[in-house]
């Protein structure tokens, strides 16, 4: 995967700028990607940049920084296998206005989970797929990776799958996220929990 493979989508919901080493996405207000588990809302109006991946085993990582101003502003890496099956790993401003590592796994409805608070102004996020399951990791330096979540979504074995970057601002007036140090690899991870 190369950055020039990325295609911006949802342009009516914000702006995208893709250069040779950075993806910058600016979300409009009232933008989100979340299917409520109680069926009250189904939002899917984010600005994103994504591509299709055919490799059975891969990882996508990036350094993520977000201009936080309102609860749930976030920049995220995501993978999607179908209209109702996707997952995202986000650097998000929590309801308590704290930068937080958040994961959302959607199988028709969304399973939303707040992870640890991360007080820096940026963090590295990684999505890893072994062809059968997914793992989410985050890192303070882009070298040592902390395990967050291991799971599967329907049709994960199908190829191609869609992977990419998105930004949201569901309660605010908009937000900006920048993705740099973007790395794509087809090397398998032998251990999901040892920091590699």
Convert the pLDDT of each residue in 119-174 to its tens digit: 999 999 999 999 999 999 999 999 999 999 999 999 999 999 999 999 999 999 99
Conformational region of residue 156, where left means phi above 0, alpha means psi within -120 to 50, and beta covers everything else: alpha
pLDDT at 3: 77
pLDDT at 31: 98
Backbone angles phi, psi at 8, to 5 degrees: -75, 140
CA 156 – CA 160 distance, rounded (Å): 9
Backbone angles phi, psi at 156, to 5 degrees: -65, -30
CA 182 – CA 90 distance, rounded (Å): 15
Convert the pLDDT of each residue in 17-41 to its tens digit: 999 899 999 999 999 999 999 977 8
Is the distance from CB of 102 to CB of 115 less than 8 angstroms? Answer: yes
Under the banding of pLDDT at 50, 70 and 90, the label for residue 4 is confident
pLDDT at 8: 95
pLDDT at 169: 98
Convert the pLDDT of each residue in 74-105 to its tens digit: 999 999 999 999 999 999 999 999 999 999 99
Q: What domains can you pick out in the chain, each with its CATH number?
A: 3-185 (2.60.120.200)
pLDDT at 27: 98
CB atoms within 10 A of CB 158: 10
């Amino acid at each position: 995967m190369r950055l020039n493979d990325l295609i911006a989508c949802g342009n009516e919901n914000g702006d995208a700028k893709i250069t040779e080493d950075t993806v910058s996405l600016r979300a409009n207000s009232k933008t989100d990607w979340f299917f409520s588990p109680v069926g009250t809302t189904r939002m899917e109006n984010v600005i994103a940049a994504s591509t299709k991946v055919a490799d059975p085993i891969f990882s996508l990582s990036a350094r993520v920084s977000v201009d936080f101003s309102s609860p749930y502003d976030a920049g995220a890496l995501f993978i999607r296998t179908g209209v109702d099956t996707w997952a995202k790993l986000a650097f998000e401003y929590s309801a308590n206005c704290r930068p937080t590592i958040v994961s959302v796994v959607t199988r028709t409805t969304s399973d939303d989970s707040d992870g640890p608070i991360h007080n820096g102004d940026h963090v590295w996020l990684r999505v890893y797929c072994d062809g059968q399951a997914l793992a989410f990791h985050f890192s303070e330096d882009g070298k040592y990776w902390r395990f967050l979540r291991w799971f599967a979504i329907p049709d994960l074995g199908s190829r191609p799958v869609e992977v990419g970057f998105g930004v949201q601002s569901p309660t605010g007036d908009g937000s900006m996220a920048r993705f740099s140090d973007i790395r794509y690899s087809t090397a398998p991870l032998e251990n999901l929990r040892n920091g590699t």
